[in-house]
Amino acid sequence: MHNMTFAVYPIPLEDAFAIAEEVGLPGATFIEPSRFTGFLCSTASADIHFRLNFNDAQRWPSDPYVSLMITAAASDEVRDWSLAHPGSGQLVEVTAFAFQSPSDQQRFEDSL
């Protein structure tokens, strides 16, 4: 019986496939675009403004000086908001994974 693990990463789909191949993940590893949208805020005020406009937005757990927000809003909606607020940041693709085992997930994360 497999002990599958699920995760999302702020990484483009093409890069995710390349890394998966590089570290030798099994063909049964499931990789697809996520329903989440990432947005890398350029300033603290852009971070606040983004959270006010996207109530479900959460900060991606990373470096405290990096403001990468994740929301379930459609990427078109976030892109439109970004265009209406030039200089606020940039859209970040988020990719979803279903790993066949925790060790597969660890190998992938170690390569990031």
For residue 23, being part of any structural domain is answered with: no
Half-sphere exposure of residue 97: CA atoms within 13 angstroms, side-chain side: 28
User: Residue 65: is its pLDDT beyond 90?
Assistant: no
Q: What band does 2 get if pLDDT is binned at 50, 70 and 90?
A: low
Look up the domain containing 59 and give its range: 32-96
Per residue in 92-111, pLDDT tens?
A: 999 999 999 999 999 999 99
The verdict on residue 66 lying in a domain is: yes
Q: For residue 103, tell me if it sits in a domain.
A: no
Indicate which CATH number applies to the domain containing 64: 3.30.70
Tokens of residue 86, six digits: 């030039």
What's the number of domains the chain is made of?
1
Confidence of residue 66 (pLDDT cuts 50, 70, 90): confident
Q: How far apart are CA 107 and CA 23, in angstroms?
A: 7
**Residue 86 forms part of a structural domain:** yes
Judge whether 70 lies within some domain.
Answer: yes
**Residue 82 in domain:** yes
